[in-house]
Structure 1
C-alpha cells in the first residue's frame, strides 16, 4: 500500500472525502474485484442504478445459474429483477460490513434504487422502498429515491420509518434545499415515533458532469467568445453552492435539536463525476470538489485516473462561494437559463433510468425464457 496510486486515494480520504464506487456486478463480487478496491484503494461504499444493473446482466455468464433457478420457479420478470439485484446488493453490504462497523455506520454503504418508473408516484415509491429495505435486510443499505417533487414526501416517509435513503437525481439548488427539508421532516417524525435517530443515515446525490453537458451545449449554441469561456464551469460552481447550502441547513437551531437527539447530517454526495467531455481533465470533478464531510462516487475509470494523476490541493470548496454565484449569474447574462437547464436535466435523468430499467427487464425476460425453453426440452 505504498504505491503512489494508493497514496492519492488515501490522501483524498484523509481530506474527508469518502471514496465510493459507482458500479456493481456479480462478477465484481464473486471475482474479488470489489474486495480488492476496498482493501487496497480506500473504497468505502458502492452505488448502483438501473444503468449499472442493465450493463451487468447483459455481460458474461455470472447470472446464468440464478436465472435457471428463477425460471424453474416460474417467477415473473419483475420478481426476477428484484431477486437478482437485491442478492448483489446484499452480498456487497456483507462485504462492506467491516467498513460500516469501523466508521460507526457512516460508510460501508450500498445503494439500490427504486424502480424509476415510479418517480412520479409517491405512494408506490414508498411501498417499494419498504420492499427493498426488507428484502435486502441489511443495516448498511441505502434505498435510492429520486428527488422529483413526488419523491420528496416519499423521502420524508421512508426516513420517518427508519429507512436510510440516498436521494438521487438532484440538479438544482432549490431542489437540494427541499431534499434536506424532507430529510429533517422525516427525522422529526421518526423522533416523535420513538425511533433511534442514530441508526438513520442519508446522503443527497448532487449530479455534476451532466450539468456541464447541458450548459455547454447551450453555450455552444449561443456561440459568442463570452459564452464559450464559461464552458465546463457550471457543474462545479453548482455543486460548491450546494455545499454552502448544506452548511447553512445543518447549522440551524432546528438541526441542532435533532443532532442533540442523535441525528446525523445528510451528507452531500457528488454523483456523475466521470468527465463526459474529453477536453476536460479526467479528474476535474474530484479535484475541484474536495472538502471534509462529503462522498464522491466514481466510475472505476475515474477512480483509476484519480489514483494515477489526481492533483489534490486540499479543500477546493471553501472560499469559492462568491465566485460560484458570479459564474451562475454570468450564465444567465449570456442567455442560458439555469432554471430551464436543471428542469430538463431532471426530466432526462428519469427518462434515462427508465430506459435502462426497460433494458434490464428485457434482458431478464430473455434469460428467463431461454432457461424455461431449455428446461422444457430436458424433460
Structure 2
C-alpha cells in the first residue's frame, strides 16, 4: 500500500523530492532505497540541513581529520564536506535525471547565505558551486530576497540551473518568475540553448500557517480562531494561479518556441508544524500536475502509510480554486492579520535562520578540526 500511495502521487504528476541529505543517508544506502522503493526523484539541502548532519559527525570524522592534516581553512573544509555529499547524491540521481530529460533527478545546494544582497558575489558563488560539484543535475539555490533577484537573472542567463528558495508571498513569486523570464531572454540573446536551462521556485507552505496562526490566536475571536491552518494552502493556490498567468501569453510563447521550459512550482516546508493538523495535508491539498513537493522523511512516510489524493471535478486539488483562496486570505486579513507583514517577517526569519545555521556549521567543523589536530 505504501508504494501504491506514493505511486499514485507520482502518477498525479507530482515529483517527490526529499528535504534532507547527509553522509549517513549516502553511506547507509538509505537514499538509494528511497529512490528505488519510494519514488523519490530529487533531494534538497540548505545550511540548516547540513548543520544538523554535521552535528552527528561520525561519518564525517575521517574526512575532517584529513582536512585538518592538510591545513585547509574552516571555510574550505565546509565547502569540501558539502560538495562531496552533493556529488555522491548527484551520482545516485543521474539515472533519474537522464530518464526525465533533466526535469528531475536533481540535488540542490545553497549559496553562502552571507552573500545575500551581493549580486556579483552570489553569481560568482553559483558558478563556483557548479564547477566544484561537476555534475549537470545540480540545482544552485538562491534565496528570493528582492536584492537577490538580479543574481537569479544573471545566473540563469549564464545557463546555471537555479532553485529559487524562501518564497512566501505571491507578489514575490511573481517577481521571481519575472526574473526567470528575463534570464531566459538574456540567455537566448547570448546563444545559450533554452532547453538546457531549468529552474524551480520554492514556495514555503507550513511556515505561513505557523506565523498566521500565531497572530490569529493573539486576536482570539471566534472568527479568527476558525481560520487557523488554512493560510498556507490558500496562499499556495493563489501562487499556482499566478504561475499559469505568467507562463502564457506572447512573452512566454516566444521563449517556449525556442525550447524554454516552465519554472516549476515547488511546495517547500510541507511538514506540518502543528500536530493537530493532518500530517499529510500539505501533500494532499497541493497535489497538482507539474509541481514538486519536497518533504521531510516523516511526511513522506506518513503519506506512504495513510495519504490520499483529493479528487475534484477538474481532476486535482488546486486548479480553479484561486477565487476561494483569495476569499480565505481576505477573511484572514479582515480579522486584523497584516499578511504583508507576515511575509516580510517570514522572509527575514528564513534568511536569518540560514545565516545562523551557516555559522553553526562552521563552528562545528572548526571544533572538529581542532580536536583532530590534538
> By how many angstroms is 1:73 displaced?
1.1
Q: Output the CA distance in 2 between the equivalents of 1:73 and 1:157.
A: 35
Runs of 5+ consecutive residues of structure 1 not aligned to the other structure? 374-379
- Cα deviation, residue 60, structure 1: 4.3
Write out aligned runs for 1:195-214 (5 A): 195-214=192-211
Identify the residue that residue 323 of structure 2 maps to in structure 1. 322
Distance 2:186 2:84 in 1: 31
The whole-number CA distance in structure 2 between the counterparts of 1:252 and 1:214 is: 35
Query: CA–CA distance in 1 between the matches of 2:249 and 2:156?
Result: 20
Deviations along 1:246-277, whole A, 9 cap, x unmatched? 01101121111111111110000000000000
Task: State yes or no: 1:260 paired with 2:253.
Answer: no
1:239 equivalent in structure 2:
236
2:349 matches 1:348? yes
SS of 2:128's equivalent?
helix
* Structure 1 counterpart of 2:152: 155
Secondary structure of 2:336's counterpart equals coil
In 1, Cα distance between equivalents of 2:308 and 2:13:
16
Quote the residue 1:249 is aligned against. 246
Larger CA deviation: 168-177 vs 129-138: 129-138
Alignment of 1:1-379 (within 5 A): 4-314=1-311, 315-373=316-374
Task: Tell me, in whole angstroms, the C-alpha distance in 2 between the residues paired with 1:318 and 1:182.
Answer: 24
Over residues 91-112 of structure 1, what are the superposed CA-to-partner deviations in whole Å (9 max), with x where a residue is unaligned? 1001000000000100000000
SS in 2 for 1:276: coil
The SS at the match of 1:366 is helix
User: How far apart, in 1, do the equivalents of 2:233 and 2:12 lie?
Assistant: 18
**Partner Cα separation in structure 1 for residue 171 and residue 130 of structure 2:** 28
Count of matched residue positions in the alignment of Structure 1 and Structure 2:
370
Query: Matched residues in 1 for 2:119 and 2:192: separation?
Result: 23
Deviations 1:329-361 (A, max 9, x none): 111111001100000000000011111111101
CA distance in 1, matches of 2:91, 2:233: 34
Can you list the C-alpha shifts for 1:202-255, whole angstroms capped at 9, x where unaligned? 000000000000000000011100000100000000001100000110112111
CA distance in 2, matches of 1:190, 1:123: 17
C-alpha displacement of 1:120: 2.2
Please say which of residues 316-325 and 222-231 is displaced more in the overlay. 316-325
Q: Which moved more, 1:357-366 or 1:114-123?
A: 114-123
TM-score by length of 2: 0.98
Q: Please, what TM-score do these two structures have when normalized by structure 1? A: 0.97
Moved over 4 A (4+): none
Which structure 2 segments of 5+ residues have no match?
Answer: none
Which residue does the alignment assign to 1:377?
none
Choose 50-59 or 311-320, whichever is displaced more: 311-320
Report the Cα distance in structure 2 between the residues aligned to 1:322 and 1:182, rounded to whole angstroms: 26
